Amino acid sequence: MALMTGEQYLESIRKLNMNIYMFGEKIKNAESSPILRPSLNSVKATYDLAQMPEYEDIMTATGLNGEKINRFTHIHRSQEDLIKKVKMQRLCGKKTGACFQRCVGFDAFNAVYSTTFEIDDKYGTHYHENFRKYMELVQGRDYTVDGAMTDGKGDRSLSPSKQPDPDSYLHVVERRPDGVVVRGAKVHQTGITNSHEVLVMPTCAMKPEDKDYAISFAVPTDSKGITIIVGRQSCDTRKLEGSSIDTGNPKFGGMEALVVFDNVFVPNDRIFLNGETEFATMLVERFSGYHRQSYGGCKVGVGDVLIGAAALAADYNGVPKASHIKDKLIEMVHLNETLYACGIACSAEGSKTKSGNYLIDLMLANVCKQNVTRFPYDIARLAQDIAGGLVVTAPSEKDLKDEKLGAYIEKYFCGAAGVKTEDRIKIMRLIENLTLGTAAVGYLTESLHGAGSPQAQRIMISRQSHMDEKKKLAKAIVDIKD
């Protein structure tokens, strides 16, 4: 079953026995929680869309064994694959207006695939063979995998092995003939409750003394010793109130969590890096490069939804023809398409790695993400500007549905002729959701910090700027001799 239907996906997640906590209580699974269910729906959309003939070319690919697979489990074989990835992410963003979570594992697959090949090349290890077999399993079962990189990090001025608490970074605590035991945690884990497996990678460059911290592996999300503590999102408990309007996006959402690994056993064939500290940097740079490309797709799709919502707000407010409104909408589209252009550009300029898969152009991927740290905020500001204060002052759905109060709300919050007040409020709530509510986690703050905070991209941009070359160009033009 290389391609699961959405229903089969739900069934497969139901079978897992994850250790999930939220508000101090253990919850059975994401499906049983009104707060998490929309995030499960978003991942389900990546399965549903792959079943639709009109999206087949974008949503599916050919796997390592020649079978048809979901593109979210694909190892890129060309620049065209990299471009299709961005198009797929834009599509999923458009259909959900939320974070659909499956890209983190996807980006980890491609980073680990090429890095393991190069480690084996140098040390004669068997990580690539392990990982290839693992990918055959992931592709064959159409798994969703949580790519786990970020550690708690403790004191940022100290390296992993120098931390007062050795668990501040996930590390090996025991080496056994059949595998290793690890302890630590991964933070900000997107989509973990909706994933079959977790693929762990180191989070930063390592020195030789950090050997136990240079570890990459994959285990099922319901492995013994894993505890998932769900993170709060702004306005999350609105989903418990039984109102679909007030949530802004009643169908889809995202989720993040702290994932604790308390003495988790990893068998040898699931280990993809184990002590080769100098390769931690390659893995981190490649993973974050792919993930910086990802944002040139997903944020653009969500941006499409927000721009559409802002345009509808203008229609419902009766001002679609005002020149400043039209200009603001143009600006929003311009910013959004600039992000897309960066996502496509770093893909088109991608190149083959030694392992044979394709890597994005790292400079352009970092430029893409640097723009992503800014433009969604500008787009969100313009959306709120166009929509007006009702985004933050609209009464609840309960009041709207109340016989007496509802009449007042209808009377005073009506907009352009022919527009239902309820529809006007729905659009305001969607804008609220994307710019202040649960979806702002993915659309705004994650745009800033996800796949590395702004400074991380500036370091990469600086490293690849070839400044000496540029100086030589200037000297040549005006005949400066060294």
Could you list the active site residues? 99, 103, 190, 256, 291, 295, 298, 446
Residue with tokens 């940097």: 281
CB of 45 vs ligand SF4, minimal distance in Å:
11
- Near ligand SF4 by CB under 6 A: residue from 189, 190, 288, 435: 190
Nearer to ligand SF4, 19 or 101 (CB): 101
Binding track, positions 146-185, relative to ligand SF4; x by CB under 6 A: ----------------------------------------
Nearer to Fe ion, 297 or 450 (CB): 450
Nearer to ligand SF4, 36 or 104 (CB): 104
CB of 71 vs ligand SF4, minimal distance in Å:
13
The partner in contact with residue 294, picked from ligand SF4, Fe ion, none with C-beta cut-offs of 5 to 8 angstroms by kind, is ligand SF4
CB of 53 vs ligand SF4, minimal distance in Å:
24
Nearer to ligand SF4, 89 or 384 (CB): 89
3 binds ligand SF4 (CB under 6 A): no
Number of residues that bind ligand SF4 (CB under 6 A): 13
Cα separation, 346 vs 334, in Å, equals 18
CB of 327 vs ligand SF4, minimal distance in Å:
28
246 binds ligand SF4 (CB under 6 A): no
The partner in contact with residue 195, picked from Fe ion, ligand SF4, none with C-beta cut-offs of 5 to 8 angstroms by kind, is none
125 binds ligand SF4 (CB under 6 A): no
100 binds ligand SF4 (CB under 6 A): yes
Question: By CB under 5 A, what part of segment 418-457 binds Fe ion?
Answer: 450
CB of 268 vs ligand SF4, minimal distance in Å:
30
> How does strand 20-22 pair with strand 226-230?
parallel
Cα separation, 447 vs 468, in Å, equals 31
Nearer to Fe ion, 63 or 191 (CB): 191
Please count the other Cβ atoms lying within 10 Å of the Cβ belonging to residue 54: 8
- Near ligand SF4 by CB under 6 A: residue from 39, 288, 294, 357: 294
CB of 257 vs ligand SF4, minimal distance in Å:
13
342 binds ligand SF4 (CB under 6 A): no
- Near ligand SF4 by CB under 6 A: residue from 70, 101, 193, 371: 101
CB of 127 vs Fe ion, minimal distance in Å:
25
Nearer to ligand SF4, 95 or 171 (CB): 95
Residues that bind ligand SF4 (CB under 6 A): 99-101, 103-104, 190, 254, 294-295, 298, 442, 446, 450
Report the interface residues with Fe ion, using CB under 5 A. 450
